[in-house]
Amino acid sequence: MKKRLIAALAIPALVLSGCSTLPNNSDPHILRSFSPQPEVDPAVGPTPGQEADLLVREFYSAAAIPSSDYGAARSFLSPEAAQNWDPEESTRIVDLIELTSQNTTRSDQRAFTVRGSVIGSIASGGSYVPENSGYETTIRMEQVDDEWRITDLPDGVVFERTELRNHYQPLPVYFYRQTGGVLVTDRRWLFGSQNSLDAQLITLLLAGPSSHLAPATTNVVPDDAAFLGIENGVYNFAGMQNMSPEDRLRFAAELVWTLSYAGIQEPYTVTADGAPLVENLETMTTDDFAEYNPRVASNSVAPLYALHEGDILQVSANAAEPVAGGLGDGGNIESADITADGVIAAVRREGDESRFIFGDIEGDIEEGLSAETISRPTFENAGQSAWTVVDGDEVMRVVRSPQTGELTTTRVITTDLDSIEGEISVIRLSNSGAQAAMIIGGEVYIGVVERERSGDFRLTNIYNPASELGGTALSLDWQADGSLVVGTSTQEAPVWRVEQDGSSVSTLPSGNITIPVVSIAASPSTLYITDYHAMLQLPVETESTYWREVPSMQGMRSAPIVAN
């Protein structure tokens, strides 16, 4: 159930008309200002005497502006069409708008075929949904008072990806992972000015997670909770009197981190039912909820390891030394993942088969399942559970008992993958553990991790966020901001950044990379890859187009392992 939203019209401090999510088909949950709003944005409208084709193009640009019930876009329509057009029927994003003239019998009429490739749509609450389909429709026009106006068009909104970037900004709204106290990023696209972002984000927070991410999350706020508005800089809520102190604290963490990553200046003063939301916290900052930080600071240093000729090496600025024990000198490790606490999940070659092992990197190691092939393991957030893929099609979850070290293996339900052709060559869990990124048949897919009431884990809501890669993906990893970095077999674009919602795919510097990029790892501050020749690194914050060989790994082609 959607949370109730009370628009406090009597509170002058609540000024929200400049910001909204993209349109949706759900009940409206956008706070409105108490002050009168203009019918049309005066900065956007038809140019007098404009040619018909140019007016159509400007209409599609104006369609990206939802202010005043799409008043800017309606100004390009005839009065009757403006009244009948329903822009909220759907919102589709295309790569480019293409226009082709049609023959008409009258000089005061025009018609155009409009085409484009749909790359995404906007769901309820501003969530981006990647798509890959065609768009084609007919736009009819007539002259109204000697000016061209659109008289016939389909319902819904269509605009180019450049308009999405020009008018909207992606911001995270945070909810808790279904199985623990970890915050999960729910990326939303918001329109408008910075002045009204806080109220809109709070609206979305109370409305709950997007339908796509909902299976992996839980909501701590009761259904009858309401946002009353902002008065003298104080965020006021109601309907939270029955929340436990623990849930109030958890909601406060969601709120503080959501506002902070949107650039809303702290501290925050928050009340619920007339009292501080959290007892003894009159004002709140991110320091009060540091343990819930959904991102790792970009200046933090994650330990670096490398897999070289079957051995695990610990890499420092000046040296690369084998780890103690059999993992550093056995020569039979095929792949591994390591936590910041030194827990390792690895695959060891034993004759004609591979063996999954789990333990402390310089301590006791337990043996687990065996198979013909086992993919590189990937850890859940807590570091006591890891996932892997057996023989290219079975996703397995391995749990180590903290008391005995004994391993328990269960199969992850993957029926939603049945329609996708190809073997799963790579699987990587997100930092929160709420999503899993995979490479299947060279394509990148992301699935949501759901834990069912039976305790079984399921991969659901599978989507391809990067169809542009065209089946060339070889390696991938999650970055601290929730995006993916992907290595490919394409020399023109060997490394890509992929936004987790599929809204953007962009190439990264490739000046001296030689394909294939067979391994990739991301720390908060540095990207590491293995190309045809060496193990290379590139700072996350850099303008350089060249990757440097990791100093202590020169001459040693190895696979990087970042212990996040």
Residue 395 located in a structural domain: yes
Residue 78 located in a structural domain: yes
- Tell me how many domains the chain contains: 3
Buried (b) or exposed (e) across 213-225, using 16+ Cβ within 10 A? bbbbbebbbbeeb
CATH number at residue 440: 2.120.10.30
What's the pLDDT at 492? Answer: 96
Residue 41 located in a structural domain: no
Of 329, 339, 311, 173, whose CA–CA distance to 251 is shortest? Answer: 173
Domain C-terminal end among 232, 257, 292 = 292
> Do 231 and 254 fall within a single domain?
yes
> Do 92 and 150 fall within a single domain?
yes
> Do 388 and 535 fall within a single domain?
yes
Residue 67, helix vs strand vs coil:
helix
Residue 256 located in a structural domain: yes
Strand 385-390, strand 378-379: pairing? antiparallel
CA distance 345 to 339: 9
Contacts 24+ apart (CB under 8 A), 418-426: 420/445, 420/462, 423/392, 423/393, 424/375, 424/389, 424/392, 424/393, 424/395, 425/375, 425/389, 425/392, 425/474, 426/375, 426/376, 426/473, 426/474, 426/475, 426/476
What's the pLDDT at 159? Answer: 98
What's the pLDDT at 325? Answer: 85
What's the pLDDT at 43? Answer: 64
> Do 233 and 347 fall within a single domain?
no
User: What does the DSSP 8-state code read for residue 2?
Assistant: P
Residue 299 located in a structural domain: no
What's the pLDDT at 372? Answer: 98
Domain range for 198 is 4-34+168-292
Q: Under a CB-based contact definition with an 8 Å cutoff, are residues 389 and 395 in contact?
A: yes
User: Token pair for residue 328?
Assistant: 């550093």
> Do 365 and 244 fall within a single domain?
no
> Do 150 and 174 fall within a single domain?
no
CATH number at residue 84: 3.10.450.540
Of 439, 447, 441, 364, whose CA–CA distance to 412 is shortest? Answer: 447
> Do 378 and 451 fall within a single domain?
yes
> Do 310 and 429 fall within a single domain?
yes
Residue 242 located in a structural domain: yes
Specify the residue for token string 């990207």: 527
> Do 341 and 275 fall within a single domain?
no
Provide the H-helix boundaries in 427-497: none
What's the pLDDT at 181? Answer: 86
Q: Between 52-62 and 67-74, two packed helices, what is the crossing angle to 10 degrees?
A: 170
> Do 434 and 527 fall within a single domain?
yes
Domain C-terminal end among 165, 188, 208 = 165
Residue 298 located in a structural domain: no
Residue 473, helix vs strand vs coil:
strand
Q: What is the dihedral of CA 78, 84, 89, 92, to 10 degrees?
A: -10
pLDDT tens series, the chain, 564 aa: 444 343 332 333 333 334 444 444 333 333 333 233 333 344 689 999 999 999 999 999 999 999 999 999 999 999 999 999 999 999 999 999 999 999 999 999 999 999 999 999 999 899 999 999 999 999 999 999 999 999 999 999 999 999 999 999 999 999 999 987 899 999 999 997 667 899 999 999 999 999 999 999 999 999 999 999 999 999 999 999 999 999 999 999 999 999 999 999 999 999 999 999 999 999 999 999 999 999 876 567 899 999 999 999 999 999 999 999 889 999 999 999 999 999 999 999 999 999 999 999 989 999 999 999 999 999 999 899 999 999 999 999 999 998 899 999 999 999 999 999 999 999 999 999 999 999 999 999 999 999 999 999 999 999 999 999 999 999 999 999 999 999 999 999 999 999 999 999 999 999 899 999 999 999 999 999 999 999 999 999 999 999 999 999 999 999 999 998
Residue 42 located in a structural domain: no
> Do 334 and 410 fall within a single domain?
yes
> Do 147 and 186 fall within a single domain?
no
Domain C-terminal end among 230, 261, 292 = 292
Cα 437–441–444 angle (5° rounding)? 30
What's the pLDDT at 124? Answer: 85
Residue 206, helix vs strand vs coil:
helix
Measured CA distances, 266 to 202, 530, 558 (Å): 15, 41, 44
